[in-house]
Structures are given as structure tokens and as C-alpha cells.
Amino acid sequence: MVRGVITFFGLALSLMASDQNQQGVDAAVVVGLVDHIVYATPDLDLGIQRIEEALGVRASAGGQHPGRGTRNALIALGPGRYLEIIGPDPEQPNPQAPRTFGIDDLKVPRLVAWAARASDLDRQANEAKRQGVAVGDVAAGRRKQPDGLLLSWRYTAPQAAMALGGGVVPFWIDWSQTPHPSGTAPAGATLVGLRAEHPELERIRSVLQKMGIPLPVSAGPRPALIATIESSRGRVEIR
């Protein structure tokens, strides 16, 4: 049961009874699918500060995304999952295409997207397309960590996922060829729930069902993701 909610720098902080789990097994199933959640910000330092104030954990530098005009910072949310804070990279020239996740138009930081871990990326992408879900083509990404380690991954297009559901529909990602970023990200927070709101409720539920994603979605005035994270500050809802 929610005992109290306050708004703090764009984050809803929820104090919940420790033994209460409204979504039961469903929450664990959804969390098990999450690779990472994406918190986009018009300024990376600002995003890092707001998450630290909410969770009591300071994100560490993740690295630059060459040619995309962005950089990120990370916090582990349990084994194999993490929170990515992503913003413009002042050391890179402005990219020719808009930055991913609508970063160029952001006024304040917010949770904008999530990535689901892929068990068989090519098969999942092809099956989604067969079902009429435009997840985009499988592509490769890379970034260099501050320690020089080059990370690489394969994923479906985040832009396609954003077009499908405004961040509610996930993109898939596969890190099987490289260490998972959560292994070196600061610990101290755990993802315990993820849910969403969307004005086109039935369409979004249909898309998620075709993708095999049991994300709880309720009606709302605009697309929104709500992540419940447990840390030394208690249970915090980030949206």
C-alpha cells in the first residue's frame, strides 16, 4: 500500500509497506525481462544529480556513443539490468540525425524507454514482424568505456520502439558478445517493478502481446513508464 507520495525534481517518491507487492508474480516476470531502463536528460550532469538525490547512488560514466552525439552514465539495478542516464555529449559535434529518445527536445529529465533482454534476437524480431509489429531491423551498437574497454551489442531499433508506443513498447537487446554493463556499474539499487500508462490502451496491449511482453499498462493522458526501484532511500517511483 502506498503510504505517501511526493514529487521531487520530476520523480515521484513512493513510500510503500515492505511486505506489499501489488503485482505479485507478474512484477517479477516483467523485471526478469528488463535489460535496462532509459532516463534521458537535456544535460547529463543534471540527470545524474537528480537520480542520485532520489536513490542515494551516484551513477558512473558509461561512455560515448560515437557519431550519435550522446554519452551516458549507469547504475546497476540488480544482476543483468541497469539504469542508463543518457544525454548530449558536448565533446561530439551535433549529429546529422536527431539524437535518440527525443533528447534534443527535452526540457527536463524523464524516463523515456526500456530495453528487453533478447533470448533469440533474430527470431524474436522476425516473429514480431510476422505479427505486424514494426520493430525495425537488427543492428549493431558500440561504445567505449572510460577504461578503454569497447562494448558492443545487437539490438532492434529504439526509434522504431518509440514510434510504436512512445517508450512504452521496448526494443530488444543482446549483449552475448561482450560483458554486460551492469557488472561494473555502481550497486545499491534494485528494480522491483515496471509498469506503463498510455492513451491508446487497447492498441498498446495488443502490440505488447504480439511481442510476448507482459508489461502492465493502464490508461493515461500520455505515454509514460513508471519504474519502482528499491534503494537506501526506500521504494522510489521514477517516471
What would the CATH number be for the domain defined by 2-238? Answer: 3.10.180.10
- The residues facing 117 across adjacent strands are 173
Q: State the pLDDT at residue 111.
A: 98
Sequence-separated (6 or more) residues with CB below 8 Å from residue 200: none
Confidence of residue 8 (pLDDT cuts 50, 70, 90): very low
- Is 193 in contact with 114 (CB distance < 8 Å)? no
Q: How confident is the model at residue 20 (pLDDT cuts 50, 70, 90)?
A: very low
Give yes or no for residue 179 having a pLDDT over 50.
yes
- Model pLDDT, residue 10: 43
Cell matching residue 143: 561504445
pLDDT at position 15 is 36
User: Residues 93-133: pLDDT tens digits?
Assistant: 999 999 999 999 999 999 999 999 999 999 999 999 999 99
| Higher pLDDT pick, 121 / 15 | 121
Greatest Cα pair distance in the chain: 50
By the 8 A CB rule, do 21 and 27 touch?
Answer: yes
How far is 201 from 29, CA to CA, in rounded Å? 21
Are the C-beta atoms of residues 38 and 84 closer than 8 Å to each other? Answer: yes
Cβ(217)–Cβ(197) under 8 Å? yes
202 exposure class (CB count in 10 Å sphere: 0-12, 13-18, 19+): exposed
pLDDT at 144: 82
Overall average pLDDT of the 10-27 stretch: 44
134: which DSSP letter?
A: -
Mean pLDDT of 196-204: 97
More confident residue, 148 or 170: 170
**What does pTM read for this prediction?**
0.89
The Cα–Cα gap between 63 and 40 comes to 15
pLDDT beyond 70 at 18: no
Helices 201-211, 121-130: crossing angle, 10 deg rounding: 130
Q: Given pLDDT bands bounded at 50, 70 and 90, which one contains residue 136?
A: very high
**Confidence (pLDDT) at 210:** 96
- Is residue 14 helix, strand or coil? strand
| CA gyration radius, the chain | 17
Q: Which residues contact 98 (CB under 8 A, 6 or more apart)?
A: 104
How many Å apart are CA 60 and CA 74, to the nearest integer?
Answer: 6
Q: Does the structure show a pLDDT above 50 at 185?
A: yes
Q: Which residue in the block uniquely carries the three cell numbers 520502439?
A: 161
> Quick check: 69 and 101 in contact, CB under 8 A?
no
Question: What's the Cα-to-Cα distance from 21 to each of 35, 43, 192, 235, rounded to whole Å?
Answer: 21, 34, 9, 12
Is pLDDT at 190 greater than 60 in this prediction? yes
Q: Output the nine-digit C-alpha cell for 136.
A: 525495425
Over residues 23-47, the pLDDT tens digits come to: 444 789 999 999 999 999 999 999 9
Per-residue pLDDT at 142? 86
